[in-house]
A and B are shown apart, each in its own frame.
Chain A
Amino acid sequence: MFVSDPSLISGKFLDSMSVYAPEWTDSIHHVGTSSTDSTDFSLYLSPYSDTTTFILASKSMLDTVHLFYTRKLILLSQECGFVTHFNIKSFNYTTNNIDSVFLIENEITTDNDGYLQIYF
């Protein structure tokens, strides 16, 4: 899943933003520290639950994005085994830093990335 803000020339105001999920054993996934950092990055939905919560932290402000989806086990091939495909049904979020969120692409498969735009 990509989180993107293509209208931004600079991600500077997201200084030191971290993204993590409560279930992760490694807590920090991404930190943006300068204007040259890309505002696109990928996150993986939980393959073990129909809900994933991401927490976006920037300085002292926290925002939470909940994604609700369905999962389907797909047998990719006899040799490769099974993969999980997702279909995002809905989402909600807090608005401490976040201005708005748009779901651009809700199907996540081995051939297709989902796409979520988050505006701060």
Chain B
Amino acid sequence: MVIYKYIFSFLFCILLGFPLYSQDIELEKDPWKITGVKIGMDVGRFSSYILKPEKTSYAGSLDIGFNNKYFAVFEYGYSEIHLEKTLYDYFSDGTFWKVGFDYNMLKKYPTDYLGIGFRFGQASFDHFAENISKDYSHWGSNITSTPLIKHSASWVEVTIGVKAELIKNVYFGWSALIKVHVTGGTDNSFQPYDIPGFGNPSNAINLGANYFIYYQIPFNRK
């Protein structure tokens, strides 16, 4: 029930936000045109090498801008976990994708971006553990492993972020993420360590941040 409460709150916030911009949308006279296609790479993942050495992940994005105001966004990533514990070794790898949109609230500097966005994310991954060391009285010790277990999970995200043009057509972007778990990726018997793109599956809500560098392929740029 908690998750539905969060989803409802989150949808409510979005619905509440749209009327604030409805006048702008109604006054907008420009026809829809593609103003840029950005290809991005998540450079924030490099910090994981220090903060989470057990995790290796990569992510990229593609967004298509319309009138520098609306952006259709697609993200794709790969994540791998190799966790060495005293009593076992844990492995996980999988991919994720996100699809959604961004809305740019800046009007004065339309090539930059300050806005909010919405994403739907989906991950597929598998995990297993090996070198599970067990020692029982009478029965002795043994090394065993779990079978490979496949999972899929989905979530929704709200983002708020900025993208600034550092040099012509090269942007640096940062965004804060609120991720709300929807389905899958949990297991009471063998809880996954991480859902690619989402994070800790034990949490109904995960917070995060992205750091991207983008190259924009210009279209109709003045």
Closest to B83 in A: A78
The 9 closest A-B pairs by CB, nearest first: A81-B87, A75-B190, A24-B138, A82-B132, A74-B189, A81-B88, A48-B142, A46-B139, A73-B146
When the two chains form the complex, which single residue of A47, A72, A73, A78 contacts B136, counting CB atoms closer than 8 Å?
Answer: A47
A26 and B85 contact, CB distance less than 8 A:
no
Once the chains bind, are A24 and B139 in contact (CB under 8 Å)? yes
B209 to chain A, nearest CB (A): 24
How many chain A residues touch the partner (CB < 8 A)? 20
On whether the beta carbons of B139 and A81 are closer than 8 Å, the reply is: no
Q: How far is the CA of A23 from the CA of B139 in the complex (A)?
A: 7
Q: Are A48 and B193 in contact (CB under 8 A)?
A: no
Q: Which residues of A contact B (CB under 8 A)?
A: 21, 23-26, 29, 44, 46-48, 72-75, 78-82, 84
B47 within 8 A of A: no
Complex Cα distance, B144 from A26, in Å, reads 23
Within 8 A of A (CB), among B186-212: 189-191, 193
Residues of the B chain whose Cβ atoms lie less than 8 Å from the Cβ of A84: 134
Which of B129, B138, B146 sits near A25, CB closer than 8 Å? B138
Interface residues on B, range: 20 to 34
Interface of A is mostly: loop
Q: Tell me whether A81 and B140 are in contact in the complex, defined as CB-CB below 8 angstroms, given that A73-B190, A75-B191 are known contacts.
A: no
A93 CB to closest chain B CB (Å) equals 20
CB A71 to nearest CB in B, in angstroms, measures 10
Decide: A44 near B139, CB < 8 A? Known: A73-B132, A75-B189: yes
**Does any Cβ of A come within 8 Å of B137's Cβ?**
yes
List chain B residues, Cβ under 8 A from A21: 138
In the assembled complex, which residues on chain A have CB atoms less than 8 Å from the CB atom of B85?
78-79, 81
In the bound complex, CA of A76 to CA of B142 (Å) = 18
Q: Per-position contact with A for B25-58: 1 when CB-CB < 8 Å, else 0?
A: 0000000000000000000000000000000000
Q: A23-B139, A82-B88 are in contact. List 6 more A-B contacts (CB 8 A).
A: A48-B142, A73-B132, A73-B190, A78-B85, A81-B87, A82-B146
Q: Could you tell me which residues of chain B, from 117 to 158, have a CB within 8 Å of some CB in chain A?
A: 129, 132-134, 136-140, 142, 144, 146
Name the one of B134, B138, B193 contacting A82, with C-beta atoms under 8 angstroms: B134
CB distance from A59 to the nearest CB of B (A): 23
Question: What's the least CB distance linking A56 to chain B, in Å?
Answer: 15
Residues in A neighbouring B83, C-beta threshold 8 A: 78
Is B139 touching A47 in the complex (CB atoms < 8 A)?
yes
In the assembled complex, the Cα of A46 lies from the Cα of B139 at a distance in Å of: 6
Please encode chain B, from 146 to 178, with 1 for each CB lying within 8 Å of some chain A CB and 0 for all others. Answer: 100000000000000000000000000000000
* One of B87, B134, B146, B191 near A47 (C-beta < 8 A): B134
